[in-house]
Amino acid sequence: MVSVRWSNNALANLDTLDFVIRGRILGKVSWLRKNFSEIVPEELHREFKGLYKLRVGDYRVVYSIRKDIITIEAVGHRRDVYR
């Protein structure tokens, strides 16, 4: 099983979100950790090459993978998170 780490930027992003949305995102990240060996990560392109996304409704979790560690890099609404 992999472990999950949160960047300071991602934690700051998470703090700005509504309580309900935050709970859905935390639940989906937990699901990702438990099921990581069974999924194919969705890689981003261009300047975000090497990063992956996780969809949570209209919100996105952007993360990187190194060995058995998933690092959450950013969290936000899909219109804002890639800026």
Instruction: Please tell me the predicted confidence (pLDDT) of residue 54.
Output: 96
40/12 Cα distance (integer angstroms) = 27
Q: What is the pTM of this model?
A: 0.93
Nearest CA to 2 out of 50, 66, 77, 81 is that of 66
How far does CA 8 lie from the centroid of its chain? 13
Tens digit of each residue's pLDDT (9 = 90 or more) over 47-78: 999 999 999 999 999 999 999 999 999 999 99
- 41-51 average pLDDT score: 94
Distance of CA 62 to the CA centre of its chain: 4
Per-residue pLDDT band for 31 (boundaries 50, 70, 90) equals: very high
Report the C-alpha gap between 6 and 47 in whole angstroms: 21
pLDDT-based confidence at 1, cuts 50/70/90? confident
Walk me through the domains of the chain, giving residue ranges and CATH numbers.
3-77 (3.30.2310.20)
DSSP 17: S
